[in-house]
Amino acid sequence: METKTVVGDVTNVSDADVMTRVDLKADRLIANSTYASEVKNAPAAVKIIVQDMREEVQSRDNLDAQSAAKTANIAKMHAKLVDIVNNDWVPTIQRQCGNDPEKVTALNFRYKGSIEHTPPTTGNIPMCTGIDRNVPGEHTMHIIDTLANKAALPWGILRCDVYGQCDGVAPTTLAELTAHGGGWLGTVDNGKFTYVTPAGGKGKTEYYIFVYILKETKKPFAYSLVYSAIIS
């Protein structure tokens, strides 16, 4: 007699189908327990898995519905914000101060055809890529912006100040540097700053911190790590 192959009809079906089919099979296995008494996974226990899956699917569907609703609300709010800027703020600014570039820029708007500027973020931090000691008694520092990866100052930054401390306990912050007797040394120019080290300082360590000053407030915006070099 030819042996026929049994199949379960649960492969490559949807979640709903697998729950329905397995639940029915479990019921039939329970009703006809002697037919397949050697199954390792008891039908009653499998029915619990099916029920748990149904609850998870329902929970997921509820979250999907909430997510869809939130996505729709976000789209509405996005459109509302664009409408406010384009149909209220822009024409109002055009009417009241459209011919005053300083005021337009101060409001974080720009003229058509000009370059859009992005305000500095927490990612904009001055970084020293090297300190040259080729000239005795001088340290020449090379500074770039970490986010832009170039020497140019980020838009909205007025300047990059340099603070230094000669020897002593290594500072970890600008406050510590000034508390240890350090102070302002000057301003970075085109990504470079050369400092004439103190007379008699040979062999000592000079510590440096670079500070971005915000154009709008004239206050510190970001601080670099502490850099150091031996005075030659």
Tell whether pTM > 0.75: no
Residues 185 and 174 sit within 8 Å (Cβ to Cβ): no
C-alpha 172 chain-centroid distance: 24
Considering the domain architecture, whether residues 226 and 151 belong to the same structural domain is answered as: yes
Considering the domain architecture, whether residues 92 and 12 belong to the same structural domain is answered as: yes
Residues of the chain with confidence (pLDDT) below 70? 1, 115-117
Q: For the chain, give the number of residues.
A: 232
Residues 6+ apart with CB under 8 A from 167: 201, 204, 205, 206
Is 108 inside any structural domain? yes
Considering the domain architecture, whether residues 33 and 135 belong to the same structural domain is answered as: no
CA separation for the pair 97, 78 (Å, rounded): 26
pLDDT at 226: 96
Written as one string, the DSSP assignment of 5-40 is: PP--S-TT--HHHHHHHHHHHHHHHHHTTTTTTT-S
pLDDT at 101: 84
pLDDT at 1: 66
pLDDT at 121: 81
Radius of gyration of the CA atoms of the chain, in A: 35
Is 119 inside any structural domain? no
CA angle 69, 71, 77 (to 5 degrees): 105
Domain that holds residue 218: 126-230
Considering the domain architecture, whether residues 43 and 134 belong to the same structural domain is answered as: no
The per-residue pLDDT for range 60-99, each reduced to its tens digit, is 999 998 999 988 888 888 888 888 988 999 899 899 988 8
pLDDT at 163: 98
Residues 229 and 206 sit within 8 Å (Cβ to Cβ): yes
